[in-house]
Amino acid sequence: MKRLVTGLMATIAGAAIAGTALAGLGVLSAQAEELRLGDFQSTTHIVSMEGTQKWMKQVEEMTGGKITFSHFPAQQAAKSKELLSATTNGIVDAALIGPIYNAEVLPLNSVVGLPGFYTTAQQGTAALQKMMQEGPLRDEMLNAGVVPIFAFVLPPYQILSKDKHLGGPDDWKGLNIRTSGATQAMVARDLGAAGVSIAGPEVYTAVERGRLDGVLFPLASVPGYNLQEVVKHISTNGAFGGYSFILVVRRDLFEGLPQETQDAMLKAGAEVAMHVAKAQDDSVAVLTQKWAEDGIDVYQFTDEEHAAINKAISTVREEWLDRIGGRNPKAADVVAQYSELTKE
């Protein structure tokens, strides 16, 4: 009788342990099937509508619903600067990050901020996608604990000003210009202005109240912040640097997914990257026409103004190389590759 009771207790204990293990596996399975994706853009921003949301939908369709997403837009899961660490720490499983916010961890990826390399989002995106497939930019992401699924850029930054039409460097002197990141701050400085770092959602009020005289901003993103309501002058053919977005998945999670799931994510990413780039380029043509009709001074720099601007900011690339290259010998190779690919 004693043996029977002992055996029964052992069986119950074993079943409990097995049940616990299966429950644990169930949690892991749920995480693999329903991924939490953090995002700092609103769901109405073109980057979200034509990029993040489109990619999630395609992955769900391509995997037959084996992968679904819980989307946390507008910094609901983490602030823009914290999304990378939120991903690696498991707060979210994936995220659309802006590498410029993590320059201390991803210094080489800040190359996109350099001025003068691309004139359309499609041109810049094609180059960046190739650099994410292999090489220093991809390695930097992997070393940070994430896998880059796809990357794309915003159209090149233009100058939007409140009261003054800004042409050559003489027009910029003494102005406060909103910049994004250290590299763009150097651009403003070399043009005689002071670069001011202000988060996107705060720019409207800063311009409206006169804290900012102008804003360096990608035109496709202007409606997302309604900046057309507070500026009077907008350039269209400048190339004041770029901004990249990268959709990442936590590395250990991605590498643990079935190969067909990984392939689906990457295939959808390659398609969506160029789609969102084209969508932005197309939107710029429509937006600039509407702004001109609304009475905004939508203008192009003259050849003489372009030459003066390019001369003024010609040292930014060298300064970037000195700053980044001092810590990473691959910086020069990254600039050379980026320069070559953006010419294709």
Low-confidence ranges of the chain (pLDDT < 70): 1-32
What's the rounded Cα separation, in Å, for the pair 103 and 81? 10
Q: What is the pLDDT of residue 120?
A: 97
Topology given in CATH for the domain delimited by 36-154+243-282: D-Maltodextrin-Binding Protein; domain 2 (3.40.190)
Q: What is the distance between the alpha carbons of residues 266 and 255, in angstroms, rounded to a whole number?
A: 13
3-state secondary structure of 195: strand
pLDDT for 290 equals 98
Q: Please choose, from the candidates 110, 102, 101, the residue with its C-alpha nearest in 3D space to the C-alpha of residue 145.
A: 102
pLDDT of residue 199: 81
36-154+243-282 shares its CATH topology with 158-241+295-341: yes
Nearest to 247 by CA among 68, 92, 135, 44: 92
Q: At what angle do helices 259-293 and 121-133 cross, to 10 degrees?
A: 160
pLDDT at position 137, please? 98
Strand residue runs (E) in the chain: 34-38, 68-72, 94-97, 146-153, 158-161, 176-179, 194-197, 214-217, 233-235, 244-250, 297-299
Q: Is the pTM of this model over 0.85?
A: yes
Residues 6+ apart with CB under 8 A from 16: none
Q: How many helices (H) and strands (E) does the chain have?
A: 14, 11
Cα-based distances in Å from 320 to 217, 294, 331, 333:
20, 39, 9, 13
pLDDT tens profile 23-59: 333 333 444 489 999 999 999 999 999 999 999 999 9
Q: What is the model's pLDDT at position 85?
A: 98
- The domain limits of the chain are 36-154+243-282, 158-241+295-341
Please tell me the predicted confidence (pLDDT) of residue 12.
33
Under 8 Å between Cβ of 126 and 274: yes
What CATH class does 158-241+295-341 carry? Answer: alpha beta
Q: What is the pLDDT at residue 327? A: 86
111: nearest Cα among 88, 134, 93, 128: 128
